[in-house]
Every structure is written in structure tokens, then in C-alpha cells.
Amino acid sequence: MSFDVQAIRQQFPILGREIDGQPLVYLDNAATTQKPQAVIDALVDYYSTCNSNVHRGAHRLADEATMRFEGARDTLAHYLNAYHREEVIWTSGTTESLNVIAHGLAQQLKAGDEVMVTEMEHHANLVTWQQACKKAGATLKVVPINELGELDVEQYKAMLSDSTKLVAIPHVSNALGSINPIVELTKLAKEKGALVSIDGAQGAAHFKIDVREIGCDFYSFSAHKLYGPTGVGILWGKKEVLENWPVWQTGGEMISEVSYQDATWNVLPYRLEAGTPNIAGAIGMAAAVSWFAQLDYDAVQAHEKALLAHATKLAEGIEGLTIIGQAKNKTGVLSFIMEGGHPADIGFLLDRQGIAIRTGHHCAEPLMNKLEVPGTARASFAIYNTIEEVDRLFEALAKVRMMLD
């Protein structure tokens, strides 16, 4: 098992930056990850050599752009172990992917139907289903979490019913780092005949995703949380579900035939991809996935676990600091509050020492209300972070503690 974090870091140009004369310590990876040179090169190469629209051009640049764009779809399909390449739908990111599903579901739900989410949801995996249920007169059920920030699986089982039409689960909580047992949860939902949608925005950055093994109907994630560009992501869905799913947007590309009176829709994947796609983004996302896939997966997991374990140990040694979210099975996230300091103040004082974290409710306001905190300070780790950077975080927090006293 080999993992050379310094060799990894050399591939990320931005990690050489300084902030106010201090070396950058970037610990805001749950919001967005930095990009390796391989991804930057893929974007530059596309724009420099074959920038063109795809699919219908009658010239060499269009052919080359189309080959790269559709090749990127093949890369994602292989990475996910999809059944068919046309199950990979390009979107602007996880949020749009979830809205594609919710838009279609809202047209199928009726009064008496139920949709289940959890108390740990990001707004993108809550408001979408909330609004779909309101539109259809269906019921939204919220599965509770325990005091550690873990999903209550027994309550989940009890809340499933023959009326459950869809279960929406985060693979990993962005605010707490809790990892959900998505294979088990999916199996239980399928036994009731429900569709299962996994919000993989945080999971895809830490785990190899196999949609066949999970057994879900939909899996969504964004490129920018997996070392890729912003503004692009994918919705993966089973072909038999997606091929008759209500269209999300209308316009070019998703049309089969059109007259002034009516229109018919294209086949998958194009029927759900209206308009000019984010061609460069798709190519960049494929480059990121290819880069990530060639790493030693077991070594990456061991490194990330070591970072979190070290950070947790140091956090437990600071008087007045409380870790928010202490699930037995968690990854990548250390959320905390400190006596005498608002999370925003903590973030500001850390930034002046060159350390980038995130503060606030992390698009999980109902969860923060349940936990009775105004928000948290959140340090989130990626494969290029080091034990030394974790030490720097807590050296800086010690100074913050003195400033706040």
C-alpha cells in the first residue's frame, strides 16, 4: 500500500499559494476541492485545440469535440459500473440532478403517497422533495438521527410503508461527515417497491462508487467535489426508469421531431440534456475521475482516516471546543463550535493565519436548528492534506481561543 502525499500535492498548483504571508492550508474541501494539473490541462487542451459544439457539426473540430464529450460519458459510466452508457446524464451538478428527479416525481405523486428524507439533508436534497410533495399533495417524512449524528435505521425501517414512493438519502452528511449504510437502506426501500435516490455529492469524493452494488435507482454528484471543474455533474439513473422519465427542460438536442403544434422527445441520454451542454466541464470531469481512479484506493482511505483521527484527537484536547457529529462511521469532516466564539469569527481569525475552513449552517439549516447551534466551523479534508496541516489548524485554533477569551 503506497501513498505519497507530497507527490500528490505537487500536482495541485494552488497549494503553493500564500495567504497574508502564510502558506495556504486548504480545509474547505466539502465545499469544493482543488484541481490537479491533469484537469486544468484537459480544460485548456479542449479550448485550445477543438472548441466546438457537439453532435451535429459538419467539420473536424465538431467531430473531435463530440468524440471527447461522448468519451467522457463512457469514462463516467465505466467508473460507476453503470449498466448502460446512456444512463449517465450530464447536469450542472448534484442540485440540478436532484431537481431533474423531483420534477419528474412531482408529476407522478398523488395524495397519500410518501417521500422519505433524513434529518441530515443538505437543502438540495430536502427542498426539492419538499416542494414536489407540496405540488402533488403527497407527504414528506423525515427520518431522525441520533445524538451522534447517525441515521436511526430502526426508525427508518418503521417509517417505510407501501405508500413510500421514493427514498432520498445522502451518502455522506456534508455537515457532520456521517456515512450512511446506503446498500442496506436501499435494499429495505426496494422491498417496499420504492425508488431510491442517493445524494452522492460528498460520497463520490471519498469512495469508489458502484451503482450495481448499491442497488439504487439514481445516484447524483458534482465534479467540483471530486477534483473536477465547477458547473458540471451527473445524474446516473437506471435505463428502465429514465427512458420514460418526464423531461426536465425542452429545447435543442432533446427533440426527436418538432412541428408548430407538437414535439416528440429524443432517446436517452439526450432527452434529458436540453441545449448546449457544458462540453469542457464534462471533459474536465472525466479527467478528474480518471486521475482519481488511478490512485491506490486503500491507501487513500487510510490517509483520510488518519487525518480525521488526528484532528479528532487534537480537538478533544481543546477546552471549550465541542465536536458536532461523532458518528462511529464518518469521513472527511470535523464540525465544531467553541465557547465564546461565533463560527464566523473563528473562520475569520483562521483565515488571517492562512487556514481556509467553512462556517455557517452548511446548507443544512433544519439540522442546525435540531442541534440547537447557530452553525458550526467545519474543517473538511482531502487526499492532498497532511498531518502537518492538521497540526497547523489546531495551533491556529489555540491562538483563536486566546483571542476570544
Q: Which residues are catalytic?
A: 363
Q: What b/e readout covers 219-247, taking b as 16+ CB neighbours within 10 angstroms? A: bbbbbbbbbbbbbbbbbbbbeeebbebeb
What residues form DSSP beta bridges with 88? 236
Gyration radius of the chain over CA positions: 22
**Burial (CB count <10 Å: 0-12, 13-18, 19+), residue 32:** middle
Instruction: Please tell me the distance from the alpha carbon of residue 229 to that of residue 300, in angstroms, as a whole number.
Output: 21
Grid cell 432533446 — which residue?
254
Whether 55 contacts 185, CB under 8 Å:
no
Grid cell 471533459 — which residue?
283
Instruction: Please tell me the distance from the alpha carbon of residue 43 to that of residue 229, in angstroms, as a whole number.
Output: 9
Q: Which 3-state string (H, E, C) describes 290-358? A: HHHHCCCHHHHHHHHHHHHHHHHHHHHCCCCEEEECCCCCECCEEEEEECCECHHHHHHHHHCCCEECE
